[in-house]
Structure 1
């Protein structure tokens, strides 16, 4: 059985929220990480752009642009089929 990769973040209220890493996608040279909340009541998926900050470390930034998100979803569907 494959081990799940769980990542924890704080929401806007400071509460810990756990996400499962679903897939890593690349569009051209830009990397994206798809995460889904571990909470069983929620089956949403979120896309985070993997950016490199000034210190050279990876930084996850939520994709808020609808067009960019649709391109990521299209690429993810290609992986499924």
Structure 2
């Protein structure tokens, strides 16, 4: 693979509860039933954290909402694992 063919990372920036900027990489966009989700991971390659955000349409714009419900998070990660294997 030539260097110019490398896949470009999609980076999203957020502010944490202390107001600090946090950059996360979008690692997947998946659908569970008819709901779309995006999975984001820290740029720190040693971190194994993954955050799931539900994509809601509000006033015709995409709004990301952190999935905090454990059952919803399990459904999303289960669907993601299906894509990997």
Tell me the TM-score range normalised by the shorter chain: over 0.9
- Measured after TM superposition, the shift of residue 40 of structure 1 is 3.4
The structure 1 segments of at least 4 consecutive aligned residues displaced by more than 3 Å after TM superposition are: none
List gaps (5 residues or longer) in structure 1. Answer: none
Of structures 1 and 2, the larger Rg is shown by 2
Q: Map of 1:40-79 to 2, 5 A cutoff?
A: 40-53=45-58, 55-79=59-83
TM-score (norm 1): 0.93
List gaps (5 residues or longer) in structure 2. Answer: 1-5
Would you say 1:32 and 2:32 are equivalent positions? no
- Mapped contact 1:23–1:33 kept (Cα < 8 A): yes
CA–CA distance in structure 2, aligned partners of residues 15 and 42 of structure 1 = 18
Aligned to 1:12: 17
CA–CA distance in structure 2, aligned partners of residues 70 and 76 of structure 1 = 10
The total of aligned residue pairs comes to 80
What is the RMSD computed on CA atoms of the aligned residues? 0.9
